[in-house]
Amino acid sequence: MKYVVFVIVLTLSASASGGAKVLRSIGTHAASHGEMLKLKSALYMGLNVDETDEEGNSLLCLAAYNGKLDIILELLERGAYI
């Protein structure tokens, strides 16, 4: 149930204002903080697995910098560039 509600909220947020920026922000935050549900939702909504933050750090790098092994594995399974 939590997943469905989050996807609906994410969909409304992304469509209401600069969708790509919203997804990028959610994705980079999720990768840095190990928030798998948010990351999967953002990827489902169209976030590129190789997206970068404002400083050029990829989602994979952000997860690695912060020791988020589950996020790293998820991104690699989805084809993130190493």
Mean predicted confidence (pLDDT) in 8-19: 60
Within its chain, how far is the Cα of 78 from the centroid? 12
Return mean pLDDT, the chain.
88
For domain 2-77, give the fold. 1.25.40
Measured in Å, how far apart are the chain's first and last C-alpha atoms? 34
DSSP class of 52 = B
pTM attached to this predicted model:
0.79
Report pLDDT digits (tens) over 24-64. 999 999 999 999 999 999 999 999 999 999 999 999 999 99
More reliable by pLDDT, 48 or 20: 48
Which residues lie closer than 8 Å to 72 by C-beta, 6 or more apart? 60, 63, 64
Beta bridge partners of residue 52, listed in sequence order: 58
Secondary structure percentages of the chain, helix, strand, coil, to 5: 65, 0, 30
pLDDT surpasses 60 at 66: yes
